[in-house]
Amino acid sequence: MSGNHVPNWPVYSSHAPAMEIVPVVDDAMQVEINGNPDMGIVFKQGYLGYWVNYDYPLGKASSITRVEVLGTKRINNEKCYEVKYVNAEPDGKIHPPSYWYYVKRMDKIYWVRFTYERDGQIITEEIDDSCPTPAKIRLGMYWHVHDIQRDTTTGEVYVSRIRTTKAEDVVELRIGSRIHNCLKVVMLNTNADGFGAPTLVEKYIDESGITVLRRKYMGEDNIGGREQLRQSPMINRDDMRYYLWYDSVFL
């Protein structure tokens, strides 16, 4: 990152690269997912990828994430893929890793366990399997899921978020000098308790099933102390304004 980056990790720009999103007429595009579309992961032992997060309105790099598929591990008597995530800051500070476990059942992918460190303690959360990702996504598809979590103290199972996702467009995505043909998938997140404005996520998934760009927007009524976001690029959807919060760019 302009001469200041995490040792042995890729050098990346300190500011978001130029981007252009051009709609394409293609009613037949379908992408096949074999991994985690949110993080550009492919379920293949030894797979390694990097994400850079750029915060707006400045479009300045705030962190880089290293993702690695370690292999498989049996969780609740199922063969799951073990994925290691490590976040680092531009000054070189590296945070403790977290471990995510996924299983592929038939035509869907499920997140089943999450292990991370908090306040020096290792915490393991069993994730309910009611929020799968389709393994094949085509233009026009949509699905609704609930994020169901278990309280690590009480053991109570609760619905935390409701997500509505739709594959809306086929686009040509240009990031710097790179060009990708992508399926644009839009996800709307709302709190299950009805409080708080929703957030909106755009995922641009290329023909190989990799999410090459993830854009997250903050709803008008949820800005709170982030007043600077009103200077960010803005979109309107269902009579609500959303401001670009950050971009995650796959290297």
For the segment 183-232, what is each residue's pLDDT rounded down to a tens digit? Answer: 999 988 776 665 556 789 999 999 988 899 999 999 887 777 788 999 99
pLDDT recorded at residue 160: 58
In 3D space, the residue among 29, 38, 19 whose CA is nearest the CA of residue 167 turns out to be 29
Q: At residue 2, does pLDDT exceed 50?
A: no
Q: At residue 7, does pLDDT exceed 70?
A: no
DSSP 151: -
Q: At residue 62, does pLDDT exceed 80?
A: yes
CA 141 to CA 134: how far, in whole Å?
10
**Among 109-123, 145-159, 191-205, where is mean pLDDT lowest?**
145-159
CA 161 to CA 233: how far, in whole Å?
25
Q: What's the average model confidence in pLDDT over 93-98?
A: 92
Find out whether 79 and 107 touch, Cβ atoms under 8 Å. Answer: no
At 67, the pLDDT band (50, 70, 90 cuts) reads very high
What's at 89, amino acid-wise?
A: E
Q: At residue 49, does pLDDT exceed 80?
A: yes
At 182, the pLDDT band (50, 70, 90 cuts) reads very high
* Residue scoring higher pLDDT (82 or 147): 82
CA 151 to CA 227: how far, in whole Å?
32
How many residues are given for the chain?
A: 251
pLDDT recorded at residue 3: 41
CA 155 to CA 11: how far, in whole Å?
43
Mean pLDDT, rounded, of the chain: 86
In percent, how much of the chain has pLDDT > 70? 86
Give the tokens for residue 41.
């992961």
Give 58's strand partners. none
Q: At residue 150, does pLDDT exceed 70?
A: no
Q: What are the structural domains of the chain?
A: 19-250 (2.40.360)
pLDDT recorded at residue 26: 85
